[in-house]
Structure 1
């Protein structure tokens, strides 16, 4: 059997380490925003709490329309056995007193009240479901925006490192020209100063990258220092035809969880108002009473009871309160809709502006800046352009690329807000 050399063993270990790193990257969330959303949907405690509250609210529907528990009343009459045979005295045993009356009573609300209570509880359960949906859309929007920032910072760090490599090349050219007496030493020093400035900016970006990772981990309910996979790509931005305001307005009115919640609250207020008006009519109690004398039952009684709604002024106040609560719920929905539509218009304008800025930077600013740099570099090597012009051309390239990255992140943030408003993915 051929022996394995130390070099081969080292190569095998490196290959295994790289394979393990690749597998770890695959299992960690963060490669795409979808992986983060899937993770958050199953682990975010705020969304879980709202979902559980919605489930709890749905369990209130049946009890709201159920009859109240019946009541059993036992009455011992003539417990002193007055007038009975001699030798009998005070006693609490049903067979040893004058008579015992057992009454079973059941309260019966006026017709329609149970249905109104159940329907109000159903509306409140739907409102709780809407709040859970609202919580998730808000959490999803935060995750999408945080991921866009995380992606942008990672790309800016890469760009910064590329610029540092470019400045190193420029420094080597300046040193070669200085050694040949074709350029002053100041050019090499300026290149070193520029590189130091870029490294300082790189430190700030790395700090921002750490903060972006901590924000994402917080949204995922993970420890702040937990690792995330390197971001690979952003979601595609829909074409302008899919970002029509009128179409999105209809989707917002039909799918927005906040409006869904307000609608459910309006229905609950309507049912509570109808129930308040129904309280003008009495509720009933019926009962049956077997009467035991000594050891046998020899009498039966029936009982019917109703409350008399005499406190009309109190009920009128309750009715006015219910009407005002309904009006308030409707006004709240109108205010919410107006604000949501204003936010939609603002975000559509913002995403359009960011798209045009990205197109302008990619199709005009960046090509022009690259041509300017190439011309400045060639001119500097031949002594026709000074080093300050070369540095300025390099900065224009960097700014154009930064503008592209920032515009992409801005579009992703606006897209996340639009999806939050319409309550679904575009």
Structure 2
């Protein structure tokens, strides 16, 4: 019995350890990071609640005001508090009823405002996608830069060791040895800065995913994105047809149009107040009273000023729509130009700069070993290799950032639709 329990305990511990090792071994893709952020980000959840509130306001706008009920103790003698000695007791219910078309129009205003809020929520989702992808890009760049730094440190350690050997045997002066040592020290200093920046970038990515800022992250590689992209004209069409900010502005215009219609109705169409009273009379037969009243909306002229206000707000919304449209078109033009520039830069670094710098370094190493080239030339080649390596990484990440900026400019994660 004791051995069976111990065997069971050991088995459970092994299972837990194996599951923990699997969890630590999991890698976070950029798609996974975005999915987690969309599902857990508190900022987006707040926008969801605001959307629910806007939807609830549609029903509120279409509803009647609460009825009022009351009781009246009529003609009770002044010398008593006994209500039974009064002439009668009146029980009343009062209901205000707006002109029917007003309720419909109020509902239309609320519905259009809900649609504007819905478009704002869609834009909020895009913002979270962009923030998360940029945080992923930043951490990816820093981690890969650190890895390149370690590779370059290995290269310069080899050069330092080589020059140190020659220096101690008297084949060289200390100058070449010190040059290599200075370059190595620079790399070590850069590595320390990269480590600090990695902590900050990791915290930002975790916060967007609603995780502990210090939680460890094992990043997957970024996709290559070598496939063709849509043309500028297609992106522009996409912006005009469905950018959330444009849709929100259009919904605001429609809401203000409905609000103007409501103001005009308020100026001419009366509202009704209905009242029903049941009277209990101790010495007489009970009786009832019905009453109907309407307001005179055009009597004081107040509603004419409300119409002017609604007309002004409609013009504001229309001008804001034009402004948003111009801004979105300018943004997509600028962003697409940046995208094309970053793609060309990445292709150039990947196809030529890095390969040329690698060949130059290998050639310098070979000629230096034979004594045909001085150490300064070798150092220059190593520096060129370092710049090419980091430049290629930076161009690759900037290319990805440009794609993410396109998503923000279009107002949609078009990769899901167009990049299948």
1:168 paired residue number: 157
- CA–CA distance in 1 between the matches of 2:379 and 2:265? 82
- Match for 2:30 among 17, 30, 33? 33
Deviates more, 1:69-78 or 1:339-348: 69-78
User: What residue number does 1:123 align with?
Assistant: 112
Residues 182, 383 of structure 1: 8 Å contact kept = no
Alignment of 1:202-351 (within 5 A): 202-228=191-217, 230-237=218-225, 239-242=227-230, 244-280=231-267, 281-294=269-282, 297-351=285-339
Structure 2: distance between partners of 1:52 and 1:262: 21
Structure 1 residue 398: Cα displacement: 1.2
2:72 is the counterpart of 1:75: yes
348, 351, 358: which one aligns with 2:346 = 358
Distance in 2 of aligned mates of 1:44 and 1:323: 39
Please report the TM-score for the alignment, with normalisation by the length of structure 1: 0.86
**Given the superposition, is the C-alpha separation of residues 145 and 110 from structure 1 closer, same or farther in structure 2, using an over 3 Å criterion?**
same
- Deviations along 1:311-332, one digit per CA (max 9) or x if unpaired, are 4532221111111111111211
Shift of 1:76: 3.0
Show CA shifts across 1:270-302 (max 9, x none): 221111110012111122333322176443322
Which residue of 1 is the match for residue 5 of structure 2? none
Give a deviation string over 1:115-167, Cα, whole Å, max 9, x none. Answer: 11111112222222222222221121011011111101111111111111111
TM score, norm. by length of structure 2: 0.88
Equivalent in the alignment of 1:136 = 125
Would you say how many aligned residue pairs link Structure 1 and Structure 2? 400
Contact 2:335 2:409 in 1 (8 A): no
TM alignment of 1:94-105, pairs within 5 A: 96-105=85-94
- Structure 1 counterpart SS, 2:72: strand
In 1: Cα distance, 2:90 partner to 2:118 partner: 49
Cα–Cα, structure 1 residues 165 and 66, in superposed 2: closer, same or farther, change >3 Å? Answer: same
Taking the aligned partners of 1:241 and 1:41, their CA distance within structure 2 comes to 25
Q: Distance in 2 between matches of 1:285 and 1:235?
A: 67
- 1:356 to partner: Cα distance: 0.9
CA RMSD in angstroms comes to: 2.5
Structure 1 residue 199, shift from structure 2 partner? 0.7
Instruction: Name the CA distance, whole Å, in 2 between partners of 1:92 and 1:271.
Output: 54
Query: CA 1:107 to 1:91, structure 2 compared with 1: closer, same or farther past 3 Å?
Result: farther
Tell me, in whole angstroms, the C-alpha distance in 2 between the residues paired with 1:311 and 1:340.
46
CA pair 255-295 structure 1, distance change in 2 beyond 3 A? farther
Q: Distance in 2 between matches of 1:186 and 1:330?
A: 72
SS at match of 1:267: helix
* Residue of structure 1 in register with 2:57 after alignment: 60
Distance 1:204 1:357 in 2: 26
Structure 2: how far apart are the matches of 1:75 and 1:297? 17
Indicate the larger mover: 168-177 or 403-412.
Answer: 168-177
> How far is 1:18 from its partner?
9.9
Compute the displacement of 1:178 (Å): 4.5
Q: Is the 8 A contact 2:278 2:289 kept in 1?
A: yes
Instruction: Tell me the residue number matched to 1:411.
Output: 399
Q: Secondary structure at the match of 1:101?
A: strand
Alignment correspondent of 1:189:
178
Question: Where in structure 1 are there 5+ consecutive unaligned residues?
Answer: 1-14, 81-88
Q: For 1:16 and 1:303, how far apart are their aligned partners in 2?
A: 79
Query: Is the 8 Å Cα contact of residues 127 and 408 (structure 2) preserved in structure 1?
Result: yes
Q: Point out where structure 2 has 5 or more consecutive residues left out of the alignment.
A: 1-13, 415-420
Shift, 1:239, TM fit: 3.9
Query: Separation in 1 of the partners of 2:80 and 2:301?
Result: 49
Tell me if structure 2 keeps the 8 A contact 1:171–1:191: yes
Whole-angstrom CA distance in 1 between matches of 2:186 and 2:22: 36
The Cα shift of 1:17 comes to 12
Aligned to 2:363, which of 358, 375, 379?
Answer: 375
